[in-house]
Structure 1
Amino acid sequence: MNSNKIKTFDAIVIGSGQAGTPLVFKLASQGQKVAFIEKEHFGGTCLNVGCTPTKTYVASARRMWDAQHGEELGIEIPAGAKANLQKIKARKDALIKKSVDGIAQGVEKNENIIFFKGKARFDGKKIVAVNNELLTADEIYINVGGSSFIPNGYEDIPYLTNQSILELEELPEHLVVIGGSYIGLEFGQMFARLGSKVTIIEQGNSIIGREDDETSQTIQQIMEEEGVDFRLGAECVAATKNENGGISARINCSKDGVIEIKGSHLLLAVGRRPNTTNLQLEKTGVKTSDRGFIEVNDYLETNVKGIYALGDCNGKGSFTHTAYNDYEIIAENKFEEKNRKVSDRLITYGLYVDPPLGRVGITKKEALQKGLDVLIGHRPFSRIARAKEKGETKGYMSVVVDAKTKKILGATVLGVGGDEIISGIINIMNADKSYEVIRDSVQPHPTVSELIPTMLESLTRV
């Protein structure tokens, strides 16, 4: 490649995830000439293999659950409901295509955006190589996302990831999931509801270990009642390929000893890693952590002036909403002279099992570990009229309040509507107001949200 043929832009954006895509259009709208690089498909993880496709599957799985639980509400639904994975997949593909096509059309029509399809790598401090071309710009934004972590020993095993499992057109007879965290639980429950036998293997002594014990135990109990089998405390997990094309997982469980589990399909859901390995960041001087995350400051800038990292690859959040907030921080600070910071945002997320989990801030377990002086509120969903009327009383909500400032430090809502209800608490936290504001509010009846003020009326000190 001839250095004399380096193409110069105002900005280069590597990756089209939930930070990179809106940033490209924002930069272009301000008259900047932008090089936009994407190796696979527009929209990144969320749109193509994350939130959008999995939530379409969750919705289909919920329809199956409804079909099998009519009797409880006096609805006699004839037996025989069957999941058609080909149709479920087709619906998912159509939703994704519409969004991806929309981005592609927007890029194509914009004269300030030059698109390059290929893998980007750095060839110098601010020189990016893609295909057979060299690009440079004063400002470079890295939004390369993350991908499934594949442990050693699975190279010759026919495993699935969160991406490849979405391409199946026939239901697994027996899906074995290695990893009892967020991704493994969502896929485990949805495929169990669609008709697969499901076994979840987790190395820890509880699923989703970062959550409070009550959350982990409640979700496990809900899923076990739906037929999901859990194997916890599983050390020395190893898998082999069977002659019939299936797999066998051999584990040493603290509870059951050495056992062998045979399945038709294996899903690896043991975590994700940033896609930074092949960027050749060493040629830029950009620092990364020992796990490969690009280190950034409060304004998402790396140690090299003019090079920024957004989204999953910076280790500041692994969610669509944190990636989009990264975009907002960059765009508003650059064009609106604001002073937005990464450290200003609250960590919030959902787990889309059914009933769903909504989370914000710290857990009770974290508060105790830090030795904080806190007040705890707690109410089971079985105490709220609307949940009883819906016939969905499993779960609970809890809140952690600073005893001195009366500010909410964190909350958990595990139950029907929990992923939406949590926003009421998030708003109070973002407003930096006392928990008394929502405690003294009047909520409409009958709603699940009216349990929040009730919960806050009787806080107890830990």
Structure 2
Amino acid sequence: MPNTSYDALIIGSGQAGNPLATALADAGQRVALIEENLLGGSCINYGCSPVKAMLASAERAHQLRTATDFGVKGAEPAVDMAAVVSRKDEIIGTMREGVRSNLTEEHKGITVLEGHAAFTGPRNILFTPATGPLQELTAKRIFINTGTRATIPEVEGLEGLPYLTTTQLLDLKELPEHLIILGGGYIGLEFSQMFRRFGSQVTIIESGSQLLEREDDDVCEALSKILTDEGVEIVLDAKVRLVSRNAEGMFTLTASTKQGERRLRGTHLLVATGRTPNTDTLGLDKAGIKLDDKQFIEVNERLETNVRGVYALGDIHGGPQFTHISYDDFRVVRDNLLARSKRRSAKQRPLPYCVYTEPQLGRIGLNESQAQEQGIEYRVASMPVLTIGRARETSRTGGFWKVLVDEKDHIVGASVLCAEGGELMTMFQLIMMGNLKYQQLQNMVIAHPSWAEGLNNVFAKLAKPK
């Protein structure tokens, strides 16, 4: 069995592993990157990029369906799901090939290996290629970037049924008549609006008392109303205890609710109840790498595991599972290893994120629940979107802005449920980084008519929380 040694060995081609490979190679290191599935990781292949590409198709369908509201004669759109999927595949295929070119052609010193990696010791990897003999690999440093997969809940009857994960739903070439979504997190919400706009009946079943469990009640209530107004059925406080499927292919979910037992039926079932780390086939025990109680890899502020020289980046170490956080993991490791003068920590960094419903929910800093938990004195400013001129002109009036201000007049958090909410949230992030006071925004000259004009007006009714 051949034995090959590298300076760095990266397991997983995600949004942290790929740029780390190029940075280390450019610094003169000999790098191997092992990928068992598709280059680019979850974001490119079955996460951000394909979902947003298909959301764009759903938005076009919605625009056609609502064209008469704008004085334009329209018609009910005829959605060709095969064409929607084909467009998505073309986009991500180009992105995936860009990753391959970047790793194999644009940077010297990187060896891309396709197959499975498992530890046999702290610095030793057994590589099983897709074809060919096994190989023993060793490296001075090893970086784990293997991400997560869909969590499948233990519900009676579910095992063995042809339910869908998000990965499979993205490749579905026929439109579901009635899509049931098990899980009311941001993944479930984005898919619910997408397929409702394509023309499916959609039902969300959530075990908790609200959608998006980490958001404030008023945000969840507003987003729920937006979805239900579009025709999405939302069933909360529903504990699914049995799933079955009849000979005609109809799923039945039996759930306990506060109103009693309910049976919900649909032609397709999407399971979107969270993510499980891909740690179970890596042989981590043979390297002595510690996991937490949810099987995520434990790391310190430099993203190093308890085994010196072995690091974990991206979703595999738990915490917020976002592409931009994974990419920042790369920056933390890069600067600590290659730019000693730029010591970076993965702790206490800002956490911006966006839920890509329409309107979008952009979030930065603290919400009210978090501020109260931390005992922070704050005032809150809230403004309905319909007060913004741009919203009325475009008929995109759903949602509201909510901003938290501390005792020194600095912004400590914002929830922006609004068209272009992610872009507007980033403005608040810049304001927070610049340590500006809210009064400076009230008096700032902002181009009219723009969504950003809300920065002038949102603080008009700044008050203590009720």
Match for 1:306: what amino acid? G
Are residue 20 (structure 1) and residue 23 (structure 2) matched?
no
Match for 1:326: what amino acid? D
Structure 1 unaligned spans of 5+ = none
Deviation for aligned residue 1:434: 3.1
Which moves more between the two structures, 235-244 or 193-202?
A: 235-244
The answer (yes or no) to whether the contact 2:26–2:108 under 8 Å persists in 1 is no
Number of residue pairs matched by the alignment: 456
Match for 1:320: what amino acid? T
Deviation for aligned residue 1:216: 0.8
Deviation for aligned residue 1:240: 0.7
The answer (yes or no) to whether the contact 2:251–2:267 under 8 Å persists in 1 is yes
Are residue 221 (structure 1) and residue 231 (structure 2) matched?
no
Written as runs of structure 1 = structure 2, the 5 A alignment for 1:181-192 is 181-192=185-196
Match for 1:264: what amino acid? T
Question: What is the rounded CA distance, in whole Å, between the counterparts of 1:429 and 1:274 in structure 2?
Answer: 33
Question: What is the rounded CA distance, in whole Å, between the counterparts of 1:418 and 1:452 in structure 2?
Answer: 13
Question: What is the rounded CA distance, in whole Å, between the counterparts of 1:231 and 1:99 in structure 2?
Answer: 37
Deviation for aligned residue 1:111: 4.0
The residue that corresponds to 2:351 in the other structure is 347
The answer (yes or no) to whether the contact 1:158–1:241 under 8 Å persists in 2 is no
Are residue 432 (structure 1) and residue 435 (structure 2) matched?
yes
Match for 1:136: what amino acid? T
**Structure 2 residue aligned with 1:139, among 138, 141, 146?**
141
The residue that corresponds to 2:154 in the other structure is 152
The residue that corresponds to 1:447 in the other structure is 450
Which moves more between the two structures, 440-449 or 14-23?
A: 440-449
Deviation for aligned residue 1:16: 0.4
The residue that corresponds to 1:127 in the other structure is 124
TM-score when normalising by structure 2: 0.95
Are residue 67 (structure 1) and residue 64 (structure 2) matched?
yes
Question: What is the rounded CA distance, in whole Å, between the counterparts of 2:442 and 2:324 in structure 1?
Answer: 27
Question: What is the rounded CA distance, in whole Å, between the counterparts of 1:312 and 1:218 in structure 2?
Answer: 29
Match for 2:414: what amino acid? A
The residue that corresponds to 1:50 in the other structure is 47
The runs of at least 4 aligned residues of structure 1 exceeding 6 Å deviation read none
Q: 1:438 to 1:287 in 2, by over 3 A?
A: farther
**Structure 1 residue aligned with 2:265, among 262, 269, 274?**
262
Match for 2:25: what amino acid? A
CA RMSD of aligned residues (A): 1.4
Question: What is the rounded CA distance, in whole Å, between the counterparts of 2:389 and 2:108 in structure 1?
Answer: 56
Deviation for aligned residue 1:457: 4.1
Are residue 234 (structure 1) and residue 231 (structure 2) matched?
no
Match for 2:8: what amino acid? A
Written as runs of structure 1 = structure 2, the 5 A alignment for 1:9-408 is 9-77=6-74, 79-109=75-105, 110-131=107-128, 132-153=134-155, 154-255=158-259, 257-337=260-340, 338-403=342-407, 405-408=408-411
Question: What is the rounded CA distance, in whole Å, between the counterparts of 1:258 and 1:316 in structure 2?
Answer: 35
Question: What is the rounded CA distance, in whole Å, between the counterparts of 1:239 and 1:48 in structure 2?
Answer: 29
For residues 255-283 of structure 1, the C-alpha deviation after alignment (integer angstroms, 9 at most, x for no partner) is 3x212111110000001111111111111
Question: What is the rounded CA distance, in whole Å, between the counterparts of 2:276 and 2:432 in structure 1?
Answer: 30
Question: What is the rounded CA distance, in whole Å, between the counterparts of 2:223 and 2:278 in structure 1?
Answer: 31
Question: What is the rounded CA distance, in whole Å, between the counterparts of 1:37 and 1:178 in structure 2?
Answer: 33
SS in 2 for 1:296: coil
Question: What is the rounded CA distance, in whole Å, between the counterparts of 2:440 and 2:284 in structure 1?
Answer: 48
SS in 2 for 1:298: coil
Q: 1:234 to 1:316 in 2, by over 3 A?
A: closer
The answer (yes or no) to whether the contact 2:146–2:316 under 8 Å persists in 1 is yes
Deviation for aligned residue 1:210: 1.0
For residues 290-311 of structure 1, the C-alpha deviation after alignment (integer angstroms, 9 at most, x for no partner) is 0111111111111211111110
Which moves more between the two structures, 435-444 or 237-246?
A: 435-444
The answer (yes or no) to whether the contact 2:65–2:76 under 8 Å persists in 1 is no
Deviation for aligned residue 1:189: 0.7
SS in 2 for 1:342: coil
Question: What is the rounded CA distance, in whole Å, between the counterparts of 1:64 and 1:457 in structure 2?
Answer: 37
Question: What is the rounded CA distance, in whole Å, between the counterparts of 2:182 and 2:240 in structure 1?
Answer: 12
Match for 1:319: what amino acid? F
SS in 1 for 2:359: coil
Deviation for aligned residue 1:246: 2.5
Q: 1:380 to 1:98 in 2, by over 3 A?
A: same
The residue that corresponds to 2:131 in the other structure is none
Deviation for aligned residue 1:332: 2.4
The answer (yes or no) to whether the contact 1:382–1:393 under 8 Å persists in 2 is yes
